[in-house]
Amino acid sequence: MSCWTFITASGPSSFNRPLYNEGTRVNIQKSYQNDNGKGKLYLVGTPIGNLEDITFRAIRVLKEVQLIAAEDTRQTRKLLTHYDISTRLVSYHEHNKQASGPELIRLMMAGESIALVSDAGLPAICDPGADLVRQAVEAGVDVIPIPGANAALSALIISGLPTDRFTFLGFLPRDRKPLLEELRSLQHVKDTLIFYESPHRIEKTLEAMLETWNPERRICLIRELTKKYEEAVRGTVKECSELLKEQPPQGEYCIVVEGVTAAEQTAAADWWEAFSPEEHVEHYEAQGLDRKESIKRAATDRRIPKRELYNYLHK
């Protein structure tokens, strides 16, 4: 039985038959009932620091596949050497994915199974592995997760902040203007927020948070996860920002930030509720912002699209 079954309004169809009137195709992967002669793409979680944080299953898969595709072959080779894994290693990263991706798909279509790994943690999160997964799905290749360590979730569960609802956002923009815009768009989000950040940028990131968010919002900075110098710093945005000025940041960071509180929402609403839309925009213009930026900020406060506010003001 094939592992891919396409469903139409009248029931299962063959691979080549059109589905629905619109041509929409639904695919169903049955990961362990595959007899179509194709290989599999395994997404293998690797340690994020401590080499012991890898599963027995991950080691077995890395030994059994025909090929391991790695973001940085030098980094991955250390892991393979540690566990005496001799599987052939090839490079797959942001700069060669356009050439490497199709070749890896060709090999899997020919029956070879490939393990995809990142430098640390789960592949396809904030790395080009997501593109290879998409190509494999389109080619009808089974994509199978081999769970393992993950920095974002590890940071979240030790942060002491709410874990029932959270949003992972990866790396924030590098440049100041898009950074501030991104943070403003997140200032009313109720979820706990998780970011990745490098040591040479984290001070500027916290300064931007101070500029756009309540400085008393709770935050946790976690660095060197699972390594000898693992550290979690818990406090407010203001407190943590001041600490980084006294103690220069070292190592890669996960930043976990409390979502907007009910008190913040009330306070945020109070200051502009008495303003008309025009007065709201004028308030920002009086602070030296241009008309476009003032409309954008007022729209963010009111939780409406900036185009909607622009049209209202110019009707």
Q: What CATH code is carried by the domain that includes residue 226?
A: 3.30.950.10
Give the Cα-Cα-Cα angle 261, 244, 211 (nearest 5 degrees).
Answer: 45
Residue 263: in which H helix or E strand, if any? Answer: helix 262-272
> Is 56 within a domain?
yes
| Residue 94, CA atoms < 13 Å, CB-side half-sphere | 4
283 and 201 part of one domain: no
What's residue 265's pLDDT?
A: 73
Domain total in the chain: 4
What's residue 12's pLDDT?
A: 37
Give the Cα-Cα-Cα angle 234, 240, 243 (nearest 5 degrees).
Answer: 120
Bridge partners of residue 171, in order along the sequence: 196
What's residue 238's pLDDT?
A: 95
Q: Is 308 helix (H, G, I), strand (E, B) or coil?
A: helix
pLDDT tens for the chain, 315 residues long, are: 333 333 333 333 333 333 333 456 788 899 888 778 899 999 999 999 999 999 999 999 999 999 999 999 999 999 999 999 999 999 999 999 999 999 999 999 999 999 999 999 999 998 899 999 999 999 999 999 999 999 999 999 999 999 999 999 999 999 999 999 899 889 889 999 999 999 999 999 999 999 989 899 999 999 999 999 999 999 999 999 999 999 989 999 999 999 998 777 776 666 778 888 998 998 888 878 889 888 988 888 888 898 899 888 887
Give the Cα-Cα-Cα angle 58, 171, 288 (nearest 5 degrees).
Answer: 170
198 and 219 part of one domain: yes
195 and 291 part of one domain: no
> Is 238 within a domain?
yes
232 and 309 part of one domain: no
Distance of CA 314 to the CA centre of its chain: 38
51 and 134 part of one domain: yes
What's residue 275's pLDDT?
A: 87
What's residue 274's pLDDT?
A: 81
> Is 269 within a domain?
no
Domain span at 26: 1-36
Residues with Cβ within 8 Å of 229's Cβ and at least 6 positions away in sequence, in order, are: 223, 250, 251
| Residue 51, CA atoms < 13 Å, CB-side half-sphere | 10
> Is 13 within a domain?
yes
